[in-house]
Structure 1
Amino acid sequence: MMPAGYATKGGYDIEAGVNGGLYPGMMESPQMRWAFIRKVYIIVFIQLFICTAVSVAMYFTPAVKTFMKTPQGLIALICLVILTFILSLVMGCVSNKHPWNYLFLFLFTVAMAGMVGVICVYKKGMPIMIAAGLTALIFVALTLYTFWAASRGSDFSFLGPFLICALLVLTVFGFMRVFIPMGNTGQLIYGCIGALVFSGFIIYDTDNLIKRFSYDEYIAAAACLFSDIINLFIAILNILEGAD
């Protein structure tokens, strides 16, 4: 009797990939790596569910919309961004320490959900739905591509330094937009750069999920992918707003 999740077709293990592994030269057990991958994606989907629930609740609460249009609302958004950044740093230190890793992952998820909810409050409903659909489509497409490319020997670890540099440029550009209004053109450019950068991060982190994350780093892996998805969603929202 075959264990759960073990599918074969004509004696070929579908989950194991090419030549019995997810990528050429794989030395670990494909079944153990697939179990790790499934665990990470389950956590990511739970995070996305929480984020969606919180964002929808905030969007349809009139009091939240009224508050966010005040100076105090802007301060609250800035505090959420800072809190999210602090929680991500703390989570990096406790990602392998149970149960603190789950606690800080939950806090990080709620903080990110609050930040997304605040951003959505300023937007219209249709662009939000379009951005969510495009984000899901791009994430699934890039994930499938990365698994396919990895099974044929491609390695995306070289993207790391380029993505860090691109993220720094994006951050500087974001601060510039706070002090130097750039209009819809600046919004569009910022969104396009962000979408490219975080699409690259999805490929990079998925490749790490397949090859480099250890079995104890499921919290770190889930947090990386969740952050990539949320940031891609925000970038696409910026594109839609800039193109409007």
Structure 2
Amino acid sequence: MWTQKFGKSDVESGARPLYPMMLESPELRWAFIRKIYSILSLQLLVTIAVAAIVVSVRPIAHFFTTTGAGLALYIVLIITPFIVLCPLYYYHQKHPVNYLLLGIFTITLAFAIGLTCAYTSGKVILESVILTTVVVLSLTLYTFWAAKRGHDFNFLGPFLFGAVLVLMVFAIIQMLFPLGRISVMIYGCVASIIFCGYIIYDTDNLIKRYTYDEYIWASICLYLDIINLFLSLLTVFRAADS
């Protein structure tokens, strides 16, 4: 009731809504959006810093890839983000536990990304970073522009979910029965397109559907979209470079 009343008076006073049929105050929604992107920016900076240390300090990658203890720890680092997601989903509205779990999630995932990039050429990493940055900024600006004109991307949800399932099955097949460099490039290209769709879908949800208490979960969704897009492009460039 308060939100509807606030939104109505705001529209009557001449403020321009963020998207058509908006009932809340644009100032409240913009504050929420700024909070999300502040958290997301910090996540990305931490990821870049941790991954850069892992890539530049060669003994770290050497320990994880050549020793039994390192390999075991590498597996722990890979599965930890997925384990942390469970309590994070439950505590995502409880401060400061949500920030603590978010930090663990981001750092462990950043470490795993760094190990993935450790034996990749700097040229391939740079190409993937540049293209990821350009695509994310372009799709974000496009989604805000489209939302302001009444476009809705909620219909993408079921299609993207089905596409991710296909990707997972294809990845399992690729691990069991390697199909060669061309198939890896195709997989990376298809995955890149799918996660581009997810960036649009989750940005649209950020603008219209997430409540003010879901800032942690919204940040995680966009963070995973960007990381998966980067890893997909890395797969493409690495296969092309080999």
| 1:207 paired to 2:213 | no
Alpha-carbon distance in structure 1 between the residues aligned to 2:15 and 2:166: 41
| 1:102 paired to 2:137 | no
Q: For structure 2, which runs of at least 5 residues remain unmatched after alignment?
A: 1-9
Compute the displacement of 1:74 (Å): 4.8
Compute the displacement of 1:89 (Å): 2.4
Alpha-carbon distance in structure 1 between the residues aligned to 2:185 and 2:199: 21
What RMSD, in angstroms, separates the aligned Cα atoms of the two structures?
A: 1.7
Counterpart residue identity of residue 186, structure 1 = S
Q: Which residue pairs with 2:156 in the alignment?
A: 159
Q: Say whether the 8 Å CA contact 1:187–1:241 is kept in structure 2.
A: no
Compute the displacement of 1:71 (Å): 6.5
Q: For structure 1, which runs of at least 5 residues remain unmatched after alignment?
A: 1-12
Question: Which residue of 31, 47, 52 maps to 2:27?
Answer: 31
Q: Which residue pairs with 1:7 in the alignment?
A: none
Q: Which residue pairs with 2:79 in the alignment?
A: 82
TM-score (norm 2): 0.89
Question: Which residue of 50, 61, 67 maps to 1:54?
Answer: 50
Q: Say whether the 8 Å CA contact 1:23–1:153 is kept in structure 2.
A: yes
| 1:146 paired to 2:130 | no
Q: Say whether the 8 Å CA contact 1:191–1:236 is kept in structure 2.
A: yes
Compute the displacement of 1:75 (Å): 4.4
Select the structure that is richer in helix.
2
59-68 vs 124-133, which moves further: 59-68
Q: Which residue pairs with 1:22 in the alignment?
A: 18
Q: Say whether the 8 Å CA contact 1:156–1:207 is kept in structure 2.
A: yes
Alpha-carbon distance in structure 2 between the residues aligned to 1:238 and 1:218: 30
Counterpart residue identity of residue 169, structure 1 = V
Counterpart residue identity of residue 153, structure 2 = F
Map 1:87-236; keep pairs closer than 5 Å: 87-236=84-233
Q: How many residues end up aligned between the 2 structures?
A: 228
Alpha-carbon distance in structure 1 between the residues aligned to 2:234 and 2:71: 18
SS of structure 2 residue aligned to 1:148: helix
104-113 vs 178-187, which moves further: 178-187
SS of structure 2 residue aligned to 1:136: helix
Counterpart residue identity of residue 45, structure 1 = S
Question: Which residue of 33, 38, 45 maps to 2:41?
Answer: 45
Compute the displacement of 1:68 (Å): 3.8
Counterpart residue identity of residue 26, structure 1 = M
